[in-house]
Amino acid sequence: MSAIIEIANKIFQPLIDLGAAPMMTIVLTLIALVFKVKPSRALEGGLKLGIAITGIGAIIDMLTSSFSQAMADFVARTGLSLNITDVGWAPLATITWGSPYTLYFLLVLVIVNVIMLIWKKTNTLDVDIFDVWHLAFVGLFAIWSGANLLIATVLVVFIGILKIINSDLMKPTFNDLLDAPENNPMTTTHMNYMMNPIIMVFDKIFDKIFPWLDKYDFDAAKLNNKVGFWGSKFAIGIYLGIFVGLLAGQNPTEIFELAFTAAVSLELFSLIGQWFIDSIEPLSQGITDFASKRLKGRTLNIGLDWPFLAGRAEIWAAANILAPIMLLEAVILPGNYLLPLGGIIAMGITPALLVVTRGRIIRMIVIGAIELPVFLWAGTLVAPFVTNMAKNIGAFPEGVASNQLISQTTMEGPMEKFLGYLVGNASQGEIEFIIYAVLALIAYLLIFMWYRREMNKRNAAYAAEKSES
């Protein structure tokens, strides 16, 4: 294993050291060149992707940092005893990439993806190399909880295979949500969407018990058109900023600053989402030409980061409503010690809700509120591990007390964090944990298999609609 880790370091470390935007620029450009895209067009697409990643990161940082201060003021004002600081995704990514095992997991997952493509078990080529840290985090947490590297690798591969299969299952829904042509290659292997099976369980319950609520649902984009500015992303951001500012007891200047920051952030998300779509266009044409000439009609999809869906108004409408709900649940939820700060805007939750419900806002909000405790408990569970890792690699955030635990609220893959904990402890030979781990893994796989069947039904319906038209 140590030899494989060393090989992975030599192959990927120079690329990872460049950072997410330069790394993905190079990766997308090289892949486009492989598919015979003109060098200038290949580089154009790669640069656009790098710009989009940089833009989305800057807006997320601006938004979460503004809300973090407001939430800190709220805690100081109320005296809540939520003693785990939510530092957002960026420090956790830094911590995870600080482990040499992350590069090892990346190499393993690349090999798995290639094998699946060769054996025709997937049509997705996963190029979202940077976000492999979400799954690597699960492996690292399993090791910290007691697993050896082999067992952690098996767990990562198991989840990674399902993650890639899921990217194929979601592809027709992405086309529908984006009103994109069938040859559009964009999909995603992001860990956000591994909550889809759980969300679909609740969505089916919704079908059986509360179908009448759908008649009160609304199209966020159409509503925005009808009510004009007052239903726009700008206005939604202002409402949220004012609400949170009042909760925090801020003065009028601070409240308006927070409101305007939220307003511009939500509008820019939509704009930057279009950049992701534009960046993939040269590669899309190259893949189409390649498939028609070499693969006898077989289509290939490209697994990107999730923000190519950022232009959908439902993501932000639901996230804004879930923000105060998350805060309330964090205060009253037994077993939670994590205060939503960096993750107060629920971007680890709403994209999956959008895909499963296909944009039905009421369902997104209700199901989102039901699943939020899972994220809060998962964030609480991993806090000692995150804090220990951060201090070991010198990545503990500045401005946070040294005796404070740190974590993330809306961390991608909360169910997988529990699997990592159970598998790690089961590896120590405790019968109780072995039983729990086996039952959890079986349940996880069975729910995914059921979800896969339901998505195949949906995709068949999409195909039937296209054949009729």
Taking the C-alpha atoms of residue 248 and residue 360, their distance in angstroms, rounded to an integer, is 31
Residue 114: per-residue pLDDT: 86
> How many domains does the chain contain in total?
1
Rounded distance between C-alpha atoms, residue 120 and residue 124, angstroms: 10
Task: Summarize pLDDT for 196-208 with one digit per residue, the tens.
Answer: 999 999 999 998 8
Query: What one-character-per-residue DSSP string does 299-348 give?
Result: --EEEE-GGGGTT-HHHHHHHHHHHHHHHHHHHH-TT--EE-STT-S-TT
Mean pLDDT for the chain overall:
83
| pLDDT tens by residue, 298-325 | 778 888 888 788 778 788 778 878 887 8
Q: How confident is the model at residue 6 (pLDDT cuts 50, 70, 90)?
A: low
Helix axes 149-178, 431-468, angle to 10 degrees: 20
Q: Are 240 and 323 in contact (CB under 8 A)?
A: yes
pLDDT higher than 60, residue 221: no
DSSP state of 85: E
Q: Could you tell me what percent of the chain has a pLDDT over 70?
A: 81
Residue 112 has pLDDT above 80, yes or no: yes
**What is the mean pLDDT of the segment spanning 30-37?**
81
pLDDT in tens, 393-449: 776 766 666 777 888 888 889 999 999 999 999 999 999 999 999 999 999 999 999
Share of the chain above pLDDT 90, in %: 33
How high is the pLDDT of residue 366?
Answer: 93
Is it the case that residue 68 has pLDDT exceeding 80? no
Closest CA to 240 of 223, 262, 221, 271: 262
For the chain, the farthest-separated pair of C-alpha atoms sits apart, in whole angstroms, at 66
pTM of the shown model: 0.80
Q: Does 457 score more than 90 pLDDT?
A: yes
Residue with tokens 């998300």: 269
Domain residue limits at 71: 1-468
C-alpha 350 chain-centroid distance:
9
> Exposed (0-12), middle (13-18) or buried (19+): which is 453, by Cβ within 10 Å?
exposed
**386 pLDDT exceeds 70?**
yes
pLDDT of 468 reads: 75
pLDDT higher at 342 or 192? 192
pLDDT over 90 at 270, yes or no: no
Q: Is the pLDDT of residue 19 over 80?
A: no
Which tokens hold the place of 160?
């990674």
